[in-house]
Chain A
Amino acid sequence: MLYRASAGINSLESLAAMDSPLHRVHPMAKLLTTLAYVFAVVSFPSQNVSGLTPFFFYPALAMPLASVPYRPLTRRLFAALPFALMGGIGSLISARETAFTLGSVPVTYGMLSFTSIMLKTFFLVFAVLILIATTPFTELVHQLAHLGIPPVVCLQFSMTYRYLSVLLLEASAMLTAYSLRSPGQNGVKMKDMGSFLGQLILRSFDRAGNVYRAMQCRGFQGVYWSSKNKNPRGGDVIYIALFLSVLLFLRFFNLSRFIGELVRQ
């Protein structure tokens, strides 16, 4: 399981090395639009389901544009859903007054909050996943630095990320060694857990230290920013402009309700 998790980080990263129209958009453009999208979604009032629904436009457009496989993304989306469920069910139980009736079915405020929490979670997680899947991690950190996030924070951020994969790899190696010597058993026994975790932390500190040394030897001085300092092109500006106008429009104009009214007339 741990091995799969570490392969997971990497496989999302490996999607970022692919090529597609969305991959080619400037990382800064993607970072800005993702932030704006997240902000727009989060700022919706908690029971406004009809206003949120049109935000499906991003997943619907991004998936074909990014031409990344669905499975790695959907797997991670589902992983986030239980947390949303926990939050949603609470409001489902607590707010039982009817908001309106759909045909003859009463829709409560709780049901509205529940749906909006689920939608928000889906949109947020999707936005972050698609960003990671189409933009190499180092470039993201680079863009954060451009946005004025202090280098130390950026460094922490990238080291944590790198450290996480080291940790997971060490854990999977140790788990393999452990299970080879304790056949017929699933996972680590509770009594061995303490020393297992202690070992894990020591070993991954050592590994992370070595990684850091290797980085230093190749000229790393605390601020490494990969890449091609790509300059934004005309297309990137258009991408931002279009994306933001759609966001503004959807945020302040309830498209679903408008279509509903049209249909009713």
Chain B
Amino acid sequence: MQLRADNLIVRYDGSEAAVLSNVSFAVESGEKVALLGDNGAGKSTLLLTLAGVLEPVSGGVILDGLVVKRENLHGMRQKIGMVFQNPDDQLFMSTVHEDVAFGPRSYGSAEEKIEQCMDKVFSRLGILHLKNRMTHRLSGGEKRLAALAGILIMEPSVLLMDEPFSFLDLRSRRRLEEILDTLPQTSLIATHDLEVAERLCTRAIVLKEGRVHADGPIGAIITRLKSMSITCR
């Protein structure tokens, strides 16, 4: 599914300056794109806008030719899965099972179907053993996978991930990287980890102070970023 940002301008309530200015790009179906940029560049804000959580002041988010509006937001959210940076924000139910069931239940899926899909998603992520665990007692890596399961069970066509590798030790990172590599979804992954980005993505978009600073094949972008940080020193 194609995801397009069209001239997005986003401002937080109560602040004058726009956090995102004239952000435009299109991510093609099945493409995996890294979203790079310093802290405060606007990565999280962009992802939240694409997920329909923040409303742009002007411009729009377009999913396969359909503009996301308030009226169709509920349906659109089913197609766009957003993995938040802090899994504690995302795991709000008491057990992993309850939490993962939250999305499909909101959309009125039948319980038997939820169970089936859940088992499929859990075995795919290798976390069948976590099903009945309490969410607040999981390790960082387990939380991340549980949060991802809660999104994947909705079978979204587009995945937005906000620094999915943060809070993880090296082994959990590897594991997550392998999993993300096998996912077929159109993905936009905000990250600071250039090496992982290079392995996982084919293209990168660099945000700087709320604008698209660069957009192109991942190799070229990373070479450019690296040379820039060298010249800056």
Contacts and interface: CB of A to CB of B under 8 A. Distances in A.
Contacts of A210: 84, 86, 89
Interface residues of B, number: 33
Given A210-B84, A216-B77, A217-B77, A17 B94 contact: yes
B185 to A, nearest CB: 15
Contact of B92 (A136, A162, A219, A225): A162
Q: Main SS of chain A's interface residues?
A: helix
Interface stretch (B1-9, B99-107, B168-176): B99-107
A207 B89 contact: yes
Nearest to A165: B136
Given A136-B94, A162-B92, A214-B92, A220 B86 contact: no
Interface residues on A, range: 20 to 34
Contacts, number: 80
A10 interface: yes
A37 B48 CA distance: 47
Contacts of A214: 82, 84, 89-90, 92
A239 interface: no
B53 A136 contact: no
A219 B74 contact: yes
Contact of B95 (A17, A220, A228): A17
A124 to B, nearest CB: 24
B78 A219 contact: yes
Interface string A1-25: 0000000001001101100000000
Nearest to B85: A210
Interface in B23-64: 48, 51-53
Interface string B121-133: 0000000000010
Given A136-B94, A214-B84, A226-B98, A219 B48 contact: no
Given A211-B89, A219-B77, A219-B107, A10 B94 contact: yes
Contacts of A224: 102, 105-106
5 contacts: A214-B89, A218-B154, A219-B77, A221-B74, A226-B98
